[in-house]
A and B are shown apart, each in its own frame.
Chain A
Amino acid sequence: MTPETQQHGVVRRVIATPRFFLAIVIIALVIFFGSVKPAFFSGPFVIAPLLTSVAIFTVVGLAQMMVLSIGHMNLAVGQMASFGAMFMGMSYDLWKLPLLVGLGIGLVAGAAVGGLSGWLVARTGVNSFIVTLAMSFALIGLVPTAYSALATGSAFIAKPSGLDVIGRDSFASFCFAGYCGPNAIPIIVVPAIVVMLIVGYLYARTRLGRELLMTGSNVKAATLSGIPTGRRIVLAHALSGLLAALAGFFLASSTGSFTPGIGDEFMLQSFVGPILGGTLLAGGYISVSGTFLGIVLTLLIRKGLDLFGVGIETLNVLLGLILIIALSTDRIRLLARRRSVKRVQQTDALLIEGNPL
Chain B
Amino acid sequence: MRRKDLLHSVTVTVAVAAALALGLAGCTKAPSSASGAGSTSLASIKVALVPGGPHPYFQPWIQAGADAKKDFGLGGMTFNETAAWDQSKQNDVINTLAANGYNAFGVFGVSPTDINTTFKTLKSSGFAVGSLASCPAGATDDADFCLSTDVETAAYKAGKATIEAMGGSGVLVHLTGNNVDSNTQRRIAGVKKAVAETNGKVTELPDVTDIDTDLTTAQRAVADLLAAKGGTITGIVSTAYNPAVAAATAVKQSGLNIKLVAIDDDPTILAAIKDGSVYATVAQNPVGQAYVGSFVLGQLGSKKCTMKTPGVTVDSGSFIVTKANVTTYDTERQATTKKLKSEFENTLLNCK
Contact = CB atoms under 8 A, between A and B. Distances in A.
Interface string A148-191: 10000111010000001000100110010011111111000100
Contacts of B267: none
Query: Which of A196, A260, A264, A306 counts the most B-chain CB atoms under 10 A from its CB?
Result: A306
Interface string B112-131: 11111110010001000000
A175 B193 CA distance: 53
Contact of A306 (B30, B93, B113, B125): B93
Given A157-B137, A289-B9, A39 B99 contact: yes
Nearest to B137: A153
A17 B25 CA distance: 29
B99 A255 contact: no
Contacts of B117: 164, 168, 255-257
A39 B101 contact: yes
B180 A180 contact: no
Nearest to A144: B180
Interface stretch (B76-84, B234-242, B343-351): B76-84
Contacts of B44: none
Interface of B: 1, 3-7, 9-14, 17-18, 21-22, 24-30, 53-54, 78, 80-82, 84, 86-89, 91-93, 95-96, 98-101, 111-118, 121, 125, 137-138, 179-182, 185
B22 A45 contact: no
Nearest to B13: A289
Given A168-B121, A196-B10, A315-B82, A53 B30 contact: no
Contact of B13 (A47, A259, A285, A293): A293
Contacts of A147: 180
Contacts of B5: 204
A333 interface: no
Shortest Cβ-Cβ A-B pairs, 8 listed? A182-B25, A256-B117, A153-B182, A184-B25, A200-B10, A204-B7, A289-B13, A155-B113
27 contacts: A19-B13, A42-B98, A43-B28, A49-B91, A56-B88, A144-B180, A147-B180, A153-B138, A153-B185, A154-B113, A154-B185, A155-B137, A155-B180, A181-B28, A182-B28, A184-B25, A185-B22, A193-B14, A255-B88, A257-B117, A260-B180, A285-B1, A287-B9, A303-B96, A309-B78, A309-B100, A310-B82
Interface in A27-45: 37, 39-45
Nearest to B82: A312
B67 to A, nearest CB: 21
**In terms of DSSP, what is the predominant structure of the interface of chain B?**
helix
Given A154-B180, A257-B113, A312-B82, A182 B99 contact: no
A108 B212 CA distance: 34
A192 to B, nearest CB: 10
Contacts of A153: 112-113, 137-138, 182, 185
A238 interface: no
A325 interface: no
Contact of B24 (A47, A196, A260, A289): A47
Nearest to A17: B9
A255 B96 contact: no
Contacts of A205: 3, 7
B92 A182 contact: no
Given A45-B99, A184-B25, A264 B111 contact: no
Contacts of B180: 144, 147, 154-155, 259-261
Contact of A184 (B4, B24, B118): B24
A264 B30 CA distance: 38
Contact of B179 (A39, A42, A51, A148): A148
B27 A179 contact: yes
A144 B180 CA distance: 7
A45 B92 CA distance: 8
Contacts of B28: 43, 172, 179-183
A194 to B, nearest CB: 10
B96 A43 contact: no
A265 B111 contact: no
Contacts of B98: 42, 45
Given A153-B182, A255-B88, 10 more contacts: A39-B99, A53-B92, A154-B180, A154-B182, A157-B113, A203-B3, A256-B115, A288-B6, A311-B82, A312-B84
A300 B96 CA distance: 12
Contact of B100 (A201, A254, A307): A307
B161 to A, nearest CB: 26
Contact of B92 (A41, A189, A306, A311): A306
A287 B99 contact: no
B133 to A, nearest CB: 17
B6 A203 contact: yes
Nearest to A293: B13
A286 B1 CA distance: 8
B1 to A, nearest CB: 6
A154 B179 contact: yes
A285 B2 CA distance: 10
A246 to B, nearest CB: 16
A46 interface: yes
A271 interface: no
A51 B111 contact: no
A87 interface: no
Looking at B10, B14, B98, the one whose CB has the most chain A CB atoms below 10 A away is: B10
